[in-house]
Amino acid sequence: MRRRKEPSKTISITDVARLAKVSISTVSRVINKSPSVKERNRKRVLEAVEQLNFQPSVLAQRLATGKSSVVALVIPRYEGIFYSFYALELIRGIGTLTAALKLDLLLHLTDTHSAFNVRGVGGVIFADVIANRGQLEEAMRLGVPSIVINNYVEELPVNCIAIDNRGAAESVVDYLSGLGHTRIAHITGDVITQAAAHRLEGYVSAMRKRKLVVREDYIIKTDYSRGQARQAAESMLSLTERPTAVFVASDSMALEVMSVANEKGLKIPQDLSVVGFDDNPSGLYGPVSLTTVRQPLVKMAQDSVKELSVIMNLGVKKAPVKKVYLPTELVVRESCQHVSP
């Protein structure tokens, strides 16, 4: 491509300059609202821009400045991600805020190995860094503003916003224990994720604090899927010494547990108390509304965009590294009651 064969349809800064009879530098200045342009020239440029319907190429701008106004959300790809309450909440939060800040949002789902090219975006929000930690490190190495959400990364000097999952789990156990329960079980999420791991930790430590027995058969690990939740519930509710309460790591799994209980003739909450996690609206609709933990997913997402835009403006070096845990809230509804004597 020595030179475009067919005359370019796209009009560039040069065309504007020619029409306005100024140099491209002046056009550039006008575009970038530099004050040092004589009013007369500014006007002419503006007219030319108008007349030619000129829009600067973001690409060229980015290439020249190294800045970009697109924020990438990098999130591990998993089956049905676009149907998961969690991912949707993140997208909602990030989407609304990027839109408000006039930033564009680039959605990138990572497979285990797909190398996302961080060059070219203004900043990156990594959700749930797991297998793709390499990408995070690369972004940091390249100096691309980054922030991680839903994962408190201690080892790296990177901003992060996570949910206080340990505290949340503890408050659930406390609540259940306060209702007189001692046989409290826990169905975990995928403990490869920090969230699930922390919920488990919180559960265990709260049980210990309350001097309650932590039984192996009262802890079943899953991958967050409803299928595994069902299996877990089936085996757990078949135990000779059934738990009287169960803390489930997500609402959608909790719903599954409730329906298994139902199939086994157990009444909720009379025979089994159930607590979920997420405050997913679908927990509202069943015959028994679900007691759950509300986590500020949307807020976390929004905060991340705010933080990121600060970094994008201040520069990676100047912006202080902040790491925070966001508190959760227990939402008591109908799926728990005092343990029957």
Partner DNA sequence: CTGAAAGCGCTAACAA
Partner DNA sequence: TTGTTAGCGCTTTCAG
Q: Which residues bind a copy of itself (CB under 8 A)?
A: 1, 9-10, 53, 55-60, 62-64, 68, 70, 77, 82-83, 88, 91-92, 95-96, 99, 102, 104-109, 114-115, 117, 119-120, 138, 141-143, 282, 285-286
* 143 touches, from DNA, a copy of itself, none (C-beta below 5 to 8 Å by class): a copy of itself
- 29 part of the interface to DNA, by CB under 7 A: yes
What whole-number distance in Å separates Cα of residue 334 and Cα of residue 323?
Answer: 35
Helices (H), 194-282: 194-209, 226-236, 251-263
* Whether the Cβ atoms of residue 126 and residue 71 lie closer than 8 Å to each other: no
3-class DSSP state of 5: coil
3-class DSSP state of 10: coil
What whole-number distance in Å separates Cα of residue 71 and Cα of residue 107?
Answer: 9
Minimum gap (Å) between residue 55 Cβ and a copy of itself: 6
* 235 touches, from DNA, a copy of itself, none (C-beta below 5 to 8 Å by class): none
Task: With contacts defined by CB under 7 A, name the span among 11-19, 88-96, 138-146, 198-206 that binds DNA.
Answer: 11-19
- 65 part of the interface to DNA, by CB under 7 A: yes
**List 1, 33, 241, 281, residue binding DNA (CB under 7 A):** 1
* Whether the Cβ atoms of residue 262 and residue 278 lie closer than 8 Å to each other: no
Task: With contacts defined by CB under 7 A, name the span among 8-16, 96-104, 148-156, 218-226 that binds DNA.
Answer: 8-16
Q: Which of 189, 186, 200 is closest to 247 using CA atoms?
A: 186
* 38 touches, from DNA, a copy of itself, none (C-beta below 5 to 8 Å by class): DNA
Burial 216-226 (b: 16+ CB within 10 A, else e): eebbbbbebbe
Show the tokens assigned to 216: 């192996």
What whole-number distance in Å separates Cα of residue 330 and Cα of residue 171?
Answer: 7
**Which parts of this chain interact with DNA (CB under 7 A)?**
1-4, 8, 10, 12-14, 22-26, 28-29, 31-32, 35-38, 40-42, 54, 56-57, 59-61, 63-65
